[in-house]
Amino acid sequence: MTLPTVCIIGAGCSGFTTAKRLKDYGIPFDCFEASDDVGGNWYYKNPNGKSACYESLHIDTSTTRMQFAEYPAPADFPHFPHHSLIHQYFRDYVEHFGLRDSITFNTSVEKAVRSGAGWEVTLSTGETRSYDALVVANGHHWDPRLPSYQGTFDGVLMHSHDYRSPFEPVDMRGKRIVVVGMGNSGMDIASELSHRSIASQLWVSARRGVWVLSKYREGIPADKMMMPPWMPRKVGLRIARKKIKKALGNMEDYGLPKPDHEPLGAHPSVSADFLVKAGSGDLTCKPAIANFVGSTVNFVDGTSVEADVVICATGYNMKFPFFSDAELHPDGSHRFPLFKRMIKPGIDNLFFMGLAQSSPTIVNLAERQSNLVAKLLSGQYALPSTDEMDAIIARDDAANLAQYYQAERHTIQVDFARYVIDLGKEIAAGEKRAATAPARAR
């Protein structure tokens, strides 16, 4: 068969691992990257402006969980590497597999339109090219979601996406700071700025309490103690929740709001410092912000503080600016149903790679997903019918999201280990469908 031509949008970890897989199968592709290097979100001060990487950032996933299956991390890597090590690891992967020459840097995809059985892709150079298939690997942590508050704040109001250090873009020394949000970035930034040599006072505002998990448990990285995927989900959750509660105690004992959900009922908030900072009085928790009046930040419980800086660690929009077709965007509730978190039923030449909130890691997700993509494009795998895909999506979402409270941040949640096993089963089933397709056609 004649292999299809493929356009890959983005050369972050999802883009370049997909490129590697297509190269393995001999499938011709072009990969376009808006920046001058690979790395995406892990490229500190990425000139394309899309990276949220801050100077002190370390990954919250342990190396053994984060590393690529086909290119393990160096043996001397720490448990939780600094962003500079991860970015170099990505560069080394690209060099090792000879991918750099197949990536066109400083070039973005401005428009992608379905045309007949393929795609018309318009580049930032003004050139338009035709492809048989399109891979979307533009990431989903680059378009910051900034809340809308009543009133006007006289100080600096910014999103955590723009935070680089205690001194950039704002010198935080001696400042009164409110950090909004108790996700991983919010807790990292709050812990860093609450040091007595930086902020004069620091508050953390959150709509609800969370369980703050430790990076280590019993002396080893906590994510290495996740329940095995062969264990029934409910049994594993029950055991894990009991252990977490025993190890951490009550969040209220640290001065944090009481969570309204069980441990692991939300995407994990992991921090090595936050609980100690809270328990030491270096930071104080507050409920959601009600409004601003000048330099006054009013909270929904009727209390208020005077602040100089408000940093919103309030998440990101899932966005595909190169698509004008409304069908190719999530709905207003951040829902975007995809078969195996990759394929929109009825459009079998479009693949969304790494578009999931994967626990414990997203770094190596597309590496696994690309197996299905390459087999499909090479004719070794066949998709189920559209109706079957819709039914599978409903079952998968019910299973993946059952443990989480309903929120926009949880619409694309998956358990990595279970997902990989399920993906392997689907690939095997699709290979059987492909093998019997000619017989069924006759």
User: Distances from the Cα of 400 to the Cαs of 137, 206, 396, in angstroms?
Assistant: 22, 25, 6
State whether 303 and 176 are in the same domain.
Answer: yes
| Percent residues over pLDDT 70 in the chain | 99
Supply angle C-alpha 268, 273, 275, rounded to 5: 75
State whether 155 and 293 are in the same domain.
Answer: yes
State whether 235 and 301 are in the same domain.
Answer: yes
- Tell me which of 268, 286, 312 is where a domain ends: 312
State whether 305 and 411 are in the same domain.
Answer: no
Supply angle C-alpha 64, 427, 360, rounded to 5: 25
- Is the pLDDT score of 68 beyond 70? yes
Per-residue confidence band for 412, with pLDDT thresholds at 50, 70 and 90: very high
State whether 414 and 385 are in the same domain.
Answer: yes
- Is the pLDDT score of 439 beyond 70? no
- Is the pLDDT score of 385 beyond 60? yes
- Is the pLDDT score of 352 beyond 60? yes
3-state secondary structure 350-391: EEECCCCEEECCCCCHHHHHHHHHHHHHCCCCCCCCHHHHHH
Query: How confident is the model over 238-291, as pLDDT tens digits?
Result: 999 999 999 999 999 999 999 999 999 998 999 999 999 999 999 999 999 999
- Is the pLDDT score of 441 beyond 50? no
Higher pLDDT, 218 or 298: 298
Torsion of CA 377, 16, 137, 411, to 10 degrees: 100
- Is the pLDDT score of 440 beyond 80? no
State whether 113 and 150 are in the same domain.
Answer: no
Higher pLDDT, 227 or 62: 62
In a domain, residue 96? The reply is: yes
Query: How confident is the model over 172-217, as pLDDT tens digits?
Result: 999 999 999 999 999 999 999 999 999 999 999 999 999 999 999 8
Average pLDDT over residues 5-24: 98
Contact 227, 237 (CB under 8 A): yes
Report the relative pairing of strands 350-352 and 133-136 from DSSP bridges: parallel
Count of the separate structural domains present in the chain: 2
In a domain, residue 211? The reply is: yes
- Residue 101 structural domain: 6-143+316-441
Contact 55, 193 (CB under 8 A): no
